[in-house]
Structure 1
Amino acid sequence: MGAAEPDEVERIVAEWRAERPGLDPGSIAVLGRVNRCGLLVRNLSNRLYDEYSINQSIFDVLAALRRMGPPYRKTARELAASSLLTSGGMTMRLDRMERDGLIRRVRSTDDRRSVFAELTPAGFALIDRIIDVHLERERQMLDTLTAEEQEELARLLRKLEHRLRELS
């Protein structure tokens, strides 16, 4: 696609402006593009997850536990809060991961009602294999932007995310 050639989002905005001159479709130029980028990122990421027979949800839990440092554990409630899932949704995810040998459940010695999800050696090895490739692919996705542009985009997206959380 040439630089002067309009893309699909620009065509949609132009069509609305032509069809409804009083309508302001400017938000489509931003949010339409954010949505499209999100879908493309998800599709590219899913290719990697498919190579390892996992999905985005499992990757997120493995990464959250790995980032904790030893003993690589969090409660289901903590994991659910960080992923915006219900506790029921997290329980189902953890059940699958436990069956697959990626995590084990460990009761707290301080509070027997509290149960941790803890990385197993297999889960630890899997996330360590995937994370390098995952981050390299993300770098490739962003390599069209300079470091300064990436920082500015991250700042603007954070501002947008904050506003969306206020509205939800």
Structure 2
Amino acid sequence: MADPEVVPTVTAADADAIDELRAQWHRERPDLDAAGLDAMALVGRITRANHLLGKGMKPIFAEHGLEFPEFDVLATLRRVGAPHELTAGGLLKTAMVTSGAITNRLDKLERKGLIERHQDPSDRRAIRVRLTEAGLELVDRAVVDHVANEERMLGPLSADDRRALDGALRRLLVSLGDTHLG
């Protein structure tokens, strides 16, 4: 049985939505282990932070005529270096989505003139995807605004908070098997 003294007390000014959810669980199911409720609260915070950060990124991408999945493809091609090209399969490995979703993203980006696709000369079955000059210019502008926006969203965290959170999330991701792309 969970000890009522174990439930963290947070002032109203410091409380977030997860504190309310956790208190509700504690009230309705006092038999649940406090460590389990702590885990549920932490996963809830990670999930909510992901949602709210995504919501905060949308306007920046929209200013550049993009959605996050499109930016993700352009940024992936940009960061691999010149000639800013990967196979469609290589993009699929980094995106963690279905091949149909990648095809849809590539179709949209190709219609916008931001990427071009061509057959791999060394493997006729493979399609290579490359940034166009317009795609390269757009992603280079968008990434500057994107980084500034992320910096703004993380503004309430001190440098020490950021390092601690970064290290803790890295350990979590490694423990979950997320040790490399693809």
| Pair in the same fold by TM > 0.5 | yes
Structure 2 CA distance for aligned equivalents of residues 145 and 93 of structure 1: 34
Distance 2:120 2:49 in 1: 41
Structure-2 separation of matches of 1:164 and 1:53: 34
2:27 corresponds in structure 1 to: 18
Residue 91 in structure 1 maps to residue 91 in structure 2: no
Partner of 2:83: 71
Deviant stretches of 4+, over 6 Å:
none
Deviations 1:118-138 (CA, angstroms, capped at 9, x unpaired): 000111111011000100111
Determine which structure has greater relative contact order: mean sequence separation of CA pairs < 8 Å that are 6+ residues apart, divided by chain length. 2
Structure 2 Cα separation of the partners of residues 78 and 115 of structure 1? 10
Which residue among 57, 61, 72 is the counterpart of 2:69? 57
* Secondary structure at the counterpart of residue 130 of structure 2: strand
Amino acid at match of 1:127: V
Q: How many residues align?
A: 164
RMSD over aligned Cα, in angstroms? 1.6
Matched residues in 2 for 1:73 and 1:7: separation? 43
Counting helix residues as a fraction of each chain, which structure ranks higher?
Answer: 1
Q: Could you tell me the TM-score, scaled by structure 2's length?
A: 0.83
Q: Which residue pairs with 1:126 in the alignment?
A: 138
Q: Percent identity?
A: 37
Question: How far does residue 27 in structure 1 lie from its aligned partner after superposition?
Answer: 2.1
TM-score, with normalisation over the residues of structure 1?
Answer: 0.90
Q: CA deviation at 1:40?
A: 0.8
In the aligned structure 2, how far is the partner of 1:46 from the partner of 1:10? 27
Aligned to 2:11: 4
Mapped to 1, the partners of 2:154 and 2:69 lie a distance apart of 23
C-alpha distance in structure 1 between counterparts of 2:63 and 2:171, whole Å: 34
Q: 2:57 aligns with which of 42, 45, 48?
A: 45
Distance in 2 between residues matched to 1:164 and 1:17, nearest whole Å? 28
How far 1:88 sits from its partner (Å)? Answer: 2.1
Query: How many angstroms apart in 2 are the aligned matches of 1:68 and 1:26?
Result: 39
In the alignment, structure 1 segments of 5+ residues that lack a partner are none
Written as runs of structure 1 = structure 2, the 5 A alignment for 1:145-156 is 145-156=157-168
